[in-house]
Structure 1
Amino acid sequence: MSVLDTTDVLDVAGYAAAVRRSLADLGPEQVDDLTDDLEADLAEALDDERHVAHGRGVLEQFGPPVEYAAELRAAAGLAPAAAPTGRVRLFGDPVEDTRRLGRWALGRLRAQAWWAPVEAFLIALRPAWWLLRGWVVYQLVALVLGVSGWLPRNLAAFLVLVGAVVLSVQYGRGEWFRSRRVTWLAVTANVVAVLAVLPLLAGAHDRVAASESVYADYTAGRLSGGGGTQTIIQDKAVDGVVVDGMQVSNLFVYDAEGNPLSDVQVYDDRGRPVRTTFDNGFDQYWFPEATEPWSFVSRVDSDGRARWNVYPLQGAPTSEFTYDDDGLQVLPAGSSATTPPWPFAKAPALDAAPEATIGAEGPAPTPTSTP
């Protein structure tokens, strides 16, 4: 029979909860470490016939919960609990209220028989949550700054991710954010991460399901200072224009004489606008002749609607954009969108009628007569 299968199990649970309340000023990780398996230890001591106070109640045998908590503090080398100041607060402490709510919910769960193995499993997953929490914080910062991508794509973003992970791990270990002056910040970030983790993971799953990695090699003379091959990793969306497995960011149209055309509206056979971008100007695009990524802007039709099927798309280097009050990228006053460099100044002219033969690659051979 388990040591918890005794008539004192309710008293043990209540006593353990009171001990944890006496340790409430410590971080949740420290409370869990100090009171790990507390219920089992108390129940086993009550059931031990060799104990001097065997047969007595839990309070008689172990003393007031406050004193028991003080002994746990002393054994762990922690300072005694601060005495109450006696001041009356008009407004509650949101951090303490959150902890109190968490302790209440945890106490209700621990009263259920099925919760013990679940809690043990979740405790084993703490390091994974610390890493995930750091990634969630990085994603929230990236959303605020308007940076896309589920993983860092430059050194600055990578440093933000590393910093968020370090802060999360140190908070989880109880090393940092122990002062009451800053603990509210860590608690708030933890609550926000818990609320945001599922939407962010769901979005990541949808993005991965709808895209695949594409590796595009191109020669970038300016980027490499005189020639070289650079490999770019980008997402190929389900919607858009794809050529040779690589998503196209812009279209350049030439007439029959090979002259470049501007402000060309492109539609498919069903009258749907042909778009190469679906990010409404938030993403960044590289092309061979650019020294930095570009962002594009839409055109506006006579009805005031934004059009993204007018080619070639116009834009500017991303560094020239600023953000308005709604968080949208805009060009500041004095700057205007321009057309990126064309692939070539003039395309080959067309001087022959369309070939009538399916699959023909050139003029049909002239038939010869036989004698």
Structure 2
Amino acid sequence: MNTGAAAIYLAQVRSELSDLPPGELEDVLQDVGGHLSEVSAEFGTEPTIGQLQDRLGTPRQYAEELRTAAGYPPRTGPVGQSHKERLDAGWNALRWGLIAATVGPFFIAVAIFAWSRRETSFFGLLGFGILFAAAFFGVVALRGNDPKVVLDTPQGTRGATTVRGWIDQIPPNIRHELRTIGQPIWWVARGMIGAGGFFALFGAPAVTVVGAFAGAAVSIWMGRRTQQDGRWLWYVVPLNVVAAIAVPAFLAAAYMGTSFGFLNNYQPRHGGSAYSPPDNGLRLNGSPVTNVYPFDAQGKQVDVRLYDQDGNPIDLERQDCAETYQPGQHGTTSNQFPQAVIVPDENGVVTNARNCKDTTKAPFAPPTASPTPTHTPTPKPTVKPTR
């Protein structure tokens, strides 16, 4: 059984021979796998990609030797396509893939880190639009070639060599765990964070939760699909980049208790008022108190100033005409109650400062006056004078 570098080498040989008939390809690969197992055993420990290439040549060279020995024709692209056209197709596909994996995730990252701003949805949609459009054009640029054609380009070869070098630094047992356990977990996390983040851009908590679970299912399907059709890499790799940005950001926000504003910063899509609890002010049973209307025992409204047990004024933000049209000039808060509020006109709005009027009258009927308690005087004891 080939693992680690041998498995990577075998997969690359499979890519080079992918134009062979399926039955013949499997027969050839079975022989190659046996040969790789024998060569790997000679090293005593699991060899690296570099060691295998020093011994057997590059996967392409190894595949060409197999073609020559078995009498198969040289690898070609679609009918009538030259080698240069094949390389051009590989470079164009790689370029679109790089755009999908960088430009799209960049705008999505901007949307993630500017979650509370109004332009969040715009940047998010722009990022996803660029990502999927570039991925689509990358697949089209292949022109019918095998997706591994990008590795034939100088840029693709250098990138693949760098990635293989990083992989070789990981111990074999950890690589095995990452493939068998880490990969499915990543698929689920990628789908939930990606889809959940997309729907959260529109401020719908319930839809966000449902979309996250649906995204996990789609992500697993895409992961399986990618193993069968390499063209899906143009979509999966950019989504992996997005998830790599979103997952740490989501965990950091959850740790700090902000939850990206999924619930606290909910903004209705079709008008209406958005509820955003104030950081300061009074609350009653969890709801904000914006004004206080004091009444005396006889049910008469009175003016008071409120202080807490330490003598600190209990201030609320002023809501009168002066603060609305000349903010900050008369003090933004006051502890005098009831506070003056703006009287709306017959249309429920105030259009300018000249028409603005204040009122301190309670917007509800005065409470019923409490009956005045009567007390029967206690008779004083009579003291008789003594002689």
The answer, yes or no, to whether TM exceeds 0.5 is no
More helix by proportion, 1 or 2?
2
Normalising by structure 2, what TM-score? Answer: 0.43
Normalising by structure 1, what TM-score? Answer: 0.44
Larger RCO (CA under 8 A, 6+ residues apart): 2
